[in-house]
Structures are given as structure tokens and as C-alpha cells.
């Protein structure tokens, strides 16, 4: 067998090894189906069991209340940038508010502007997306169509540590910290997350939507772009991304079996992130973290070195040590280590030790 490297990619990203092994074991004959998950009907009993399992595991992990639907939709989190304002802004007669703490939130705004009045309630662009607003300081209008934010900005490595408490129709892009920590779902109107950061492979986007939002949604939407279609057909209106949903089921089972729930998962994630931030903070300026301390991401750790040449050397040498995918996003440069749920403590130790050695050799 070839050797598996440590994969610090931001998405698609590393998956739990036991999940990959189980998928491998069951690849030719899915138990009870006698055929591969890639070959069976999405209307079969075997697939019904999988999609129900994925939904019920997510409900358990996040304590999703009964009055929320859990949907699996294609088109990535990026399609949600459009579906949200199409469904919830277009015919609302209201405005949508956006809190922009990084690149993804900024993309979401562009789609909303095509659908209706969009206000940027807070924008972290000027200092280069290093911070997040204090919830108390925001002028949140509870009567807007919704207020959108990104819980974790994957590219800049900026994460809200707290969820909003005030009343409003909160809509959150949780793509890159979904199921990494407990979240009070009942405070939200809608939560969405592309699977390929923390929940599985690309293909499915999980949408958790409160039922009264379905009633409010615009009329006359194209069938596939209308949340009601997916809710009324339990995500089986058309052919779903069966393999992605199958792996989401395995990943959520793995969290339940290994960690028991999201509190334990979050504690592990905090511990992993703390090792990086400590390596950065004790480096005497050799490594410089991008995000302000109070909102440092536990999923995507971003930092810079003195100059680009040194950053390239870091990335190349790390690669040779089997520590892969460490280049920051092309829009910001620097280094980014994505340490989602499935990144092991062993992988984190390997990279942190590499950081220390590299610093000694290059200071």
C-alpha cells in the first residue's frame, strides 16, 4: 500500500481513515444491496436507510429541533449564495443584511444584490479580514428578511467564537466549521454547509431550514431552486449525490462512535488549534498569525513568514516531509493549515514540530 501523507487541504479535505476503510470494504457490495453505492437506485431500501441515517445522525449531533428540515442539495455552498436570496429575499418586500468577515461572505453578498436590497451590516475588508464584529455592537434589525454571516471564513482563518443571541432570521454559512462544535440550531432560520470541508466528499450541501421559512419563500421559483421541492420530497425529487450522502452517514456515525458528540469533538479541535497558535506566538515573530487573537479559527490556521521566498521554502520542505497542501489561498498567500475534525493529533504534532525545526534552521 502507498503511504498516506498528512493532508492539510482546505477542501476537499482529509477524511477519517476508518471511514475511508469502511467505504473501501463496502465499495463492491453495499450490505443488503449486493451492488456498489455508485450503482444502486436512490429509491432503493438500501439508500433510504443511508439517507435516513445521515439525517438522523445530524439531528442527534446538532440537536436539530423537529420544526427544521434537513436537506441534501447539489450545487455546493455557492449555489446557496443564490438560493437563499431567491427564496427569502426576492418577494419579501424587505432587505437582507450581510456580515462580511472574509472572501466567502463577500461572494454571498454579490448574489444577494441580484435579488433585492442588500445591506452590508459589517465589513472586515479594510484591515484584510482579520476580525469579526462583537454581536452586541451590531445594529441588527430583527425585521429584515434575514441576516447572513459566515461562522468560519476558510480563506482568512477567522471564526466567530460565539453565536448571535438577538432575535432575527439568522442565516449562516457553516461550510468550514460544520459539526466541529455544538451550535444552538434553534436560534437560526437556516444553516448550510458544503460537505467537503468537514462532513464528507463534495457533492452534497447540507441545508437545515426552519419550516416557517418554507412558507415565506418566494412563489414561482424554478423547481430545483425552490427549497420546498427538496423539503417535500425529502431530498429525493431528482437523483441525489448518493455517494456523498453515504460518506456523510459514515462520518457522522464515526463522530458519534469516537467522540460521543460535538462537545468532545470541539474540545479535540480546540486542543489541536492551540498547538499551532502556541507555535506561532512563541516564534518571536518568525511566524505571524493572520487573524486577530480573539477570533482565530480552530479549523483553518493562517499565518505568514517574513517574505514570500521563505514561505515557498516552508511549503516545499513541508511537502517533502509528507505535510501537504499548506499554501494559503491564491487570493491571500502565506500558509494555511486546515485541521478539520478528521485531522489527527499526530498530524498536528508532525506539522508543529516541522514549524519548530524550520524556524531554528532559518532564523
Binding mask 86-125 for ligand PLP (x = CB under 6 A): ------------------x---------------------
> Cα(first)–Cα(last) distance of the chain, in Å?
38
Strands (E), 231-321: 288-289, 300-304
3-class DSSP assignment, residue 249: helix
Please identify which of the residues 69, 97, 122, 173 carries the catalytic annotation.
173
Smallest separation, CB 302 to ligand PLP (Å): 13
CA distance 153 to 270: 17
Output 33 or 295, the one with its CB closest to ligand PLP.
Answer: 295
Output 189 or 194, the one with its CB closest to ligand PLP.
Answer: 194
Q: Which of 197, 210, 230, 296 binds ligand PLP (CB under 6 A)?
A: 197
Supply 31's cell numbers: 450490505
Please identify which of the residues 104, 122, 170, 254 carries the catalytic annotation.
104
The answer to whether the beta carbons of residues 338 and 159 sit under 8 Å apart is no
Q: Which of 33, 46, 77, 183 binds ligand PLP (CB under 6 A)?
A: 77
CA distance 62 to 76: 21
The answer to whether the beta carbons of residues 275 and 352 sit under 8 Å apart is yes
Smallest separation, CB 12 to ligand PLP (Å): 9
Please identify which of the residues 97, 122, 170, 197 carries the catalytic annotation.
197
For this structure, is 104 an active site residue?
Answer: yes
Interface with ligand PLP, residue 175, by CB under 6 A: yes
Interface with ligand PLP, residue 154, by CB under 6 A: yes
Q: Which of 194, 241, 328, 334 binds ligand PLP (CB under 6 A)?
A: 194
Instruction: Compute the C-alpha angle 129/131/134, nearest 5°.
Output: 140
Q: Which stretch binds ligand PLP (CB under 6 A): 170-178, 215-223, 305-313, 316-324?
A: 170-178
Smallest separation, CB 242 to ligand PLP (Å): 17
Spatial strand order in the sheet of 300-304? 288-289, 300-304, 335-338
Q: According to CB under 6 A, which residues from 2 to 21 bind ligand PLP? A: 11
Distances (CA, A) of 64 to 42, 179, 181, 233, 277: 24, 12, 14, 19, 32
Q: Which stretch binds ligand PLP (CB under 6 A): 49-57, 76-84, 246-254, 349-357?
A: 76-84
- Cis previous bond, 12, omega within 30: yes
- Considering CB under 6 A, how many residues would be counted as binding ligand PLP? 12
Rg (CA), the chain: 21
Q: Which stretch binds ligand PLP (CB under 6 A): 71-79, 266-274, 315-323, 335-343?
A: 71-79
Smallest separation, CB 124 to ligand PLP (Å): 14
Interface with ligand PLP, residue 76, by CB under 6 A: yes
What is the secondary structure of 3-49 as a DSSP string? PPPEE--SSS----HHHHHHHHHTSSS-TTTSS-TTTS-TTSHHHHH
Distances (CA, A) of 162 to 103, 307, 313, 315: 20, 34, 36, 33
The answer to whether the beta carbons of residues 58 and 115 sit under 8 Å apart is no
Interface with ligand PLP, residue 173, by CB under 6 A: yes
Output 194 or 200, the one with its CB closest to ligand PLP.
Answer: 194
For helices 103-113 and 76-88, angle between their N-to-C axes, nearest 10 degrees:
40
Q: Which stretch binds ligand PLP (CB under 6 A): 168-176, 248-256, 305-313, 324-332?
A: 168-176
For this structure, is 197 an active site residue?
Answer: yes
Output 92 or 198, the one with its CB closest to ligand PLP.
Answer: 198
Q: Which residues form the catalytic set? A: 104, 173, 197
- Contact positions vs ligand PLP (CB under 6 A): 11, 76-78, 104, 150, 154, 173, 175-176, 194, 197
Amino acid at each position: 500500500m502507498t503511504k498516506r501523507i498528512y493532508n492539510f487541504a482546505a477542501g476537499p479535505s482529509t477524511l477519517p481513515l476508518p471511514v475511508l476503510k469502511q467505504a473501501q470494504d463496502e465499495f463492491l457490495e453495499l450490505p443488503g444491496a449486493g451492488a456498489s453505492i455508485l450503482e444502486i437506485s436512490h429509491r432503493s431500501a438500501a439508500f433510504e436507510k443511508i439517507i435516513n441515517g445521515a439525517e438522523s445522525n445530524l439531528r442527534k449531533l446538532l440537536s436539530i429541533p423537529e420544526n427544521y428540515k434537513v436537506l441534501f442539495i447539489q450545487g455546493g455552498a455557492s449555489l446557496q449564495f443564490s438560493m437563499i436570496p431567491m427564496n427569502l429575499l426576492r418577494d419579501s418586500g424587505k432587505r437582507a443584511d450581510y456580515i462580511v468577515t472574509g472572501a466567502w461572505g463577500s461572494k454571498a453578498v454579490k448574489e444577494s444584490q441580484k435579488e433585492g436590497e442588500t445591506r452590508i451590516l459589517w465589513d472586515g475588508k479594510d484591515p484584510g479580514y482579520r476580525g469579526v464584529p462583537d454581536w452586541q455592537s451590531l445594529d441588527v434589525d430583527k425585521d429584515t428578511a434575514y441576516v447572513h454571516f459566515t461562522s468560519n471564513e476558510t480563506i482568512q482563518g477567522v471564526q466567530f467564537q460565539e453565536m448571535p443571541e438577538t432575535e432575527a432570521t439568522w442565516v449562516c454559512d457553516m461550510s468550514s466549521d460544520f459539526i466541529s462544535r455544538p451550535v444552538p440550531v434553534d436560534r437560526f432560520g437556516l444553516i448550510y454547509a458544503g460537505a467537503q470541508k468537514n462532513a464528507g466528499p463534495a457533492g452534497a450541501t447540507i441545508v437545515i431550514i426552519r419550516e416557517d421559512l418554507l412558507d415565506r419563500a418566494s412563489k414561482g421559483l424554478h423547481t430545483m431552486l425552490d427549497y420546498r421541492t427538496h423539503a417535500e420530497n425529502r431530498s429525493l425529487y431528482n437523483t441525489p449525490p448518493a455517494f456523498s450522502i453515504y460518506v456523510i452517514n459514515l462520518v457522522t456515525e464515526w463522530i458519534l462512535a469516537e467522540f460521543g458528540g460535538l462537545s468532545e469533538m470541539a474540545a479535540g479541535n480546540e486542543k489541536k488549534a492551540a498547538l499551532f497558535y502556541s507555535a506561532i506566538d512563541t516564534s518571536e515573530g518568525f511566524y505571524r498569525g493572520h487573524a486577530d487573537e480573539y477570533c482565530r479559527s480552530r479549523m483553518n490556521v493562517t499565518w505568514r513568514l517574513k517574505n514570500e521566498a521563505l514561505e515557498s521554502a516552508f511549503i516545499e520542505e513541508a511537502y517533502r516531509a509528507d505535510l501537504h497542501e499548506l499554501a494559503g489561498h491564491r487570493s491571500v498567500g502565506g500558509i494555511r493549515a486546515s485541521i478539520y475534525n478528521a485531522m489527527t493529533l499526530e498530524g498536528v504534532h508532525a506539522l508543529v514540530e516541522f514549524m519548530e525545526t524550520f524556524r531554528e534552521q532559518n532564523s
